[in-house]
Amino acid sequence: MKYPNEVIIAEVGPRDGLQNEKTILSAEAKAKLIDQAIEAGFKVIEIGSMVHSKAIPALADTAEVFKLIKNKDKAELRVLVPNLKGTERAIAAGIKKVKLTVSASESHNISNFNRTPKQTVEGFKECYDLAHQNGLEVSGAIATSFGCPFEGEISIEQIEQVVKAFIDLGIREISLSDTTGMGNPKEVYTKCQYFKENYPEITWNIHFHNTRGMALANIVAAMEAGMSRFDGAFGGLGGCPYAPGASGNVASEDIIHMLHLMGINTGIDLDKSIEIAKEVKMLVGHDVDSYMLKAGKVSDLIKERPKKQIKICNA
């Protein structure tokens, strides 16, 4: 199998992980985690979402978090924006990259936004135009790309309709997201290969949840299809409203560990990423879904053999 020499891992814990937590961290604590991630070597970090405080209270202070980050110029910092108001908030905060998200599933999208996917992307035009006029980069994300809790399997054709709509808008960076952890390696390979081959001009990001324990296998399948950019969350924070108690995002430190064992460079210090996960576990006050925190690195098992004791017998 041919794998990439280098993979970019985006840390999405500050947004997709912390937004689900009952314990709301202070802006100072979030900024510190983000600075630690930058120091560890993460070059892309999703720091929050520009939503109304009532919508997601845990992310209401994203603008303040951004202000407190010390090393802003050392990583690409992006935020999720749901609408024009969110785009305006991002511009006012001085943020340089925003992400727009829509579902490939019509049922899921109507449930969340009361609009079809096509109508949602059409509504993004004013967001894109305003962001572009103010010098912000814009990326897109397609939720439920690998399965929908209402519709089941999602076809390539459904995803492609949204891809084309994003391209028509002017977006050239798109994330395919396994929102509810329904994807499997065969499906992942087929879809990733199709979009990688048919839309080579697009920068593809792949976002997996580990809801059913298949995220790392799905990452390997996506790499085999030519993908080399993935999202992860410190400690594996996150969750799925359709599978209460299940794992959330795949843990960043678990991805890094696997890739380093495979000889694939990430530019990220694994030990530092594990320390971040340990701190996150302490801050949220409960166990997290990280194999690195539960079992440690493979290299932790390899210890120096004790020298054999040679007994000398006197005849």
pLDDT in tens, 31-54: 999 999 999 999 999 999 998 888
| Alpha carbon distance 60, 282 (integer Å) | 22
Please confirm, yes or no, whether 240 is among the known catalytic residues: yes
Handedness of CA 64, 66, 69, 70 (dihedral sign): negative
Q: Which of the following is catalytic: 127, 148, 240, 313?
A: 240
| Alpha carbon distance 154, 142 (integer Å) | 11
| Alpha carbon distance 82, 48 (integer Å) | 12
In this structure, the number of other CB atoms found within 10 A of the CB of residue 106 comes to: 19
Say what the alpha-carbon torsion angle 176, 179, 180, 183 is, to the nearest 10 degrees. Answer: 10
- The stretch 12-16 carries a mean pLDDT of 97
Over residues 156-175, the pLDDT tens digits come to 999 999 999 999 999 999 99
CATH 3.40.50.360 fits 8-301, yes or no: no
- Give the pLDDT score at 213: 95
- Give the pLDDT score at 53: 82
- The stretch 226-235 carries a mean pLDDT of 98
Over residues 113-123, the pLDDT tens digits come to 889 998 999 99
- Give the pLDDT score at 306: 59
pLDDT tops 80 at residue 29: yes
| Alpha carbon distance 93, 76 (integer Å) | 15
- Give the pLDDT score at 245: 64
- Give the pLDDT score at 222: 98
- The stretch 129-136 carries a mean pLDDT of 98
285 alpha-carbon distance from chain centroid: 22
| Alpha carbon distance 174, 121 (integer Å) | 13
In this structure, the number of other CB atoms found within 10 A of the CB of residue 20 comes to: 17
pLDDT tops 90 at residue 131: yes
Q: Are 222 and 258 in contact (CB under 8 A)?
A: no
Lowest mean pLDDT among 50-59, 270-279, 288-297: 50-59
Q: Are 160 and 193 in contact (CB under 8 A)?
A: no
| Alpha carbon distance 12, 301 (integer Å) | 29
Lowest mean pLDDT among 132-141, 235-244, 301-310: 301-310
208 alpha-carbon distance from chain centroid: 7
